[in-house]
Amino acid sequence: MKAKREGGGNPGAAVVLLSGGMDSAVAGAWARAEGYAILALTVDYGQRHRVELEAARRVAAALGCRDHVVVQVDLRRFGGSALTADIPVPTGRNPHEMTDIPVTYVPARNTVFLALALGWAETLGAEDLFIGVNFLDYSGYPDCRPEYIEAFERMANLATKAGVEGKSRFRIHTPLIRVTKAEIVRRAAELGVDLSLTWSCYVPGPDGRPCGACDSCILRAKGFAEAGIPDPLAR
Amino acid sequence: MKAKREGGGNPGAAVVLLSGGMDSAVAGAWARAEGYAILALTVDYGQRHRVELEAARRVAAALGCRDHVVVQVDLRRFGGSALTADIPVPTGRNPHEMTDIPVTYVPARNTVFLALALGWAETLGAEDLFIGVNFLDYSGYPDCRPEYIEAFERMANLATKAGVEGKSRFRIHTPLIRVTKAEIVRRAAELGVDLSLTWSCYVPGPDGRPCGACDSCILRAKGFAEAGIPDPLAR
């Protein structure tokens, strides 16, 4: 299903936020399956698990992206998160207990990411943005919820020259927002995404392997288990 | 008039976006006059007129900010603007003809700036953000309009842990949004802002002086002329 598109200087292209994790890899493959040429954007924000940046490069190459840009914004300058400051990452939590917003929440992270994606999209004349947020089996981050995404999209069309002049209508695509991690694993298989290229762990060990105990590892393991598919990264 | 404030870890503090220009300097002085402790945020986005970063440091010092952070985000990686790419800056335009959105517009710039300010504010437990956008005598940038600011504020309160948990209610203050450049010059005088510390020109000459011909110089000159006050930076 090739999405129809009008106006803009880069018809058929979409900016895809690619973290190196499973969800954004599947969101990228989804965009590709819909017929978009992919302009991948990765943000090096000083994250503790910098190894995910290498995963993002592998995923971008596998997706056959038209371009892949890695932008640096050092959010450690602000801190406030276990991913950007000297705060321990929680381990061993039960997924059913992940109802609070954890200390791995990075203040305004998706807003910074989407703002950068919007700027690049407008420059390129693209009007479709993909972000792999999901709302089920997630870590409780507020900037993964549908009402947030809708508010960002509305703001984006008021923020931009292209939006105001009516040349473009920016759309934030969230193909995974209402699916479980198990469904994401299954869709990866359907879409031909090699999940061995992806990275999820927040605190990789000295051996360079996933810790298996942080929320991100636990949610990943839950997804593979429920999908009945072995994780190629599992110990 | 000391604004009342509840909750948060940094009551009485406001994040002020400080570019080095007149408008943000007056917005900062306004925040100070309202009783806020100022946390100044400047973004080094690879702007052509990097000299404004030094002006931001001078202004932050003069305002007596509690902290001043300069964050780097290289928007030249995206380009698309005369301020971030090899595109000539228009000169000699009549202010009355500045009705289009000019090539100095930087795609999604204020969205990136406000996203960063929001992240810092949430980390600090501050809930007030100041930005010196203005809607009259401006360059036609869409992200300086009231409807954009309102949409950003709404999004910000859905994006953040503090907003969602009801601990904070982020407010985007735009004290200059409906005033003329002449009023900004007059308010600078009233608030004790030394405008000789600020910088406006997009294309400073080799002698390090303002060009006097870009939109930013022309709007500045118009403001001083209409206020009947000499510009300390004028040739």
ipTM at complex level? 0.93
Do A156 and B79 count as a contact with CB atoms less than 8 A apart? no
Residue A2 is assigned to a structural domain of this protein? no
Question: Is residue B4 one of the residues assigned to a domain?
Answer: no
Domain that residue B51 falls in: 13-227
Residue of B nearest to A115 (CA): B112
Q: Does some domain include residue B98?
A: yes
Do B111 and A147 count as a contact with CB atoms less than 8 A apart? no
pLDDT score recorded for residue B97 = 77
- Residue B39 and residue B13 in contact, taking contact as beta carbons nearer than 8 Å: yes
Per-residue DSSP letter, B98 = T
Mutation to test the A interface, candidates B41, B71, B123, B168, most A Cβ within 10 Å: B123
Measured CA to CA, the distance from residue B222 to residue B62 in angstroms comes to 25
Distance CA B58, CA A7 (A): 44
pLDDT tens digits for B157-189?
999 988 888 877 999 999 999 999 999 999 999
How far, in Å, are A128, B51, B210 from residue B206 at the CA level? Answer: 41, 12, 10
**Angle between helix B51-63 and B22-33 (nearest 10):** 20
Q: Which residue of B has its CA nearest to A84?
A: B123
Q: Which of B152, B121, B149 is nearest to B134 (CA)?
A: B149
Min distance A129 CA to chain B CA atoms (Å): 14
Maximum Cα–Cα distance for chain B, whole Å? 53
In a domain, B2, yes or no: no
Q: Which of B118, B129, B138, B148 to mutate to test the interface with A (most CBs of A within 10 A)?
A: B148
Which residues neighbour A3 within 8 Å (Cβ) at sequence distance 6 or greater? A34, A35, A36, A128
- Judge: B107–A72 Cβ closer than 8 Å, yes or no: no
User: Residue-wise pLDDT tens for chain A (235 aa)?
Assistant: 334 344 446 779 999 999 999 999 999 999 999 999 999 999 999 999 999 999 999 999 999 999 999 999 999 999 999 999 999 999 999 888 777 888 999 999 999 999 999 999 999 999 999 999 998 766 678 999 999 999 999 999 999 988 888 877 999 999 999 999 999 999 999 999 999 999 999 999 888 899 999 999 999 999 999 999 999 998 6
**Residue B139 pLDDT:** 67
Q: Do B72 and A71 touch (CB under 8 A)?
A: no
Residue B8: the pLDDT is 47
Domain count, chain A: 1
CATH number at residue B204: 3.40.50.620
Taking the CA of residue B152 and the nearest CA in chain A, the distance in Å comes to 6
Q: Which residues of A touch B145 (CB under 8 A)?
A: 158
In a domain, A124, yes or no: yes
CB contact under 8 A, A159 and B165: no
Whether residue B86 is contained in a domain is answered as yes
B3 in a domain, yes or no? no
H helices of chain B, where? Answer: 22-33, 51-63, 109-124, 146-159, 161-164, 181-191, 215-227
Q: Provide the angle, in degrees to the nearest 10, between the axes of the packed helices B109-124 and A146-159.
A: 140
As a whole number of angstroms, the distance between CA B148 and CA A157 comes to 9
- pLDDT of B193-211, one tens digit each? 999 999 999 999 888 899 9
**Interchain CB distance below 8 Å, A142 and B160:** yes
Strand partners, A173: A130
Domain annotation covers residue B103:
yes
Q: Which residues in chain B are closer than 8 Å to A81, comparing Cβ atoms? A: 123
Of B71, B75, B106, the CB nearest to A77: B71
3-state secondary structure chain A: CCCCCCCCCCCCEEEEECCCCHHHHHHHHHHHHCCCEEEEEEEECCCCCCHHHHHHHHHHHHHCCCEEEEEECCHHHCCCCCCCCCCCCCECCCHHHCCCCCCCCCCCHHHHHHHHHHHHHHHHCCCEEECCCCCCCCCCCHHHCHHHHHHHHHHHHHHCHHHHCCCCCCEEECCCCCCCHHHHHHHHHHHCCCHHHCCCCCCCCCCCCCCCCEHHHHHHHHHHHHHCCCCCCCC
Of B110, B118, B164, the CB nearest to A108: B118
Strand order in the sheet with B13-17: B67-72, B37-44, B13-17, B128-130, B171-173
pLDDT in tens, chain B (235 residues): 334 444 446 779 999 999 999 999 999 999 999 999 999 999 999 999 999 999 999 999 999 999 999 999 999 999 999 999 999 999 999 888 777 888 999 999 999 999 999 999 999 999 999 999 998 766 678 999 999 999 999 999 999 988 888 877 999 999 999 999 999 999 999 999 999 999 999 999 888 899 999 999 999 999 999 999 999 998 6
What's the pTM? Answer: 0.94
Matching residue, tokens 């599992």? A234
Q: SS3 for B159?
A: helix
Residue of A116, A154, A165 with shortest CB distance to B112: A116
Which phi and psi (to 5°) does residue A44 adopt?
A: -90, 95
User: A159: distance to nearest CA of chain B, Å?
Assistant: 5
Which pLDDT score, from 0 to 100, does residue A101 have?
86
Strands B128-130 and B171-173: parallel
Q: Do B108 and A155 touch (CB under 8 A)?
A: no
Please judge whether A105 and B79 are an interchain contact, meaning their C-beta atoms are less than 8 angstroms apart: no
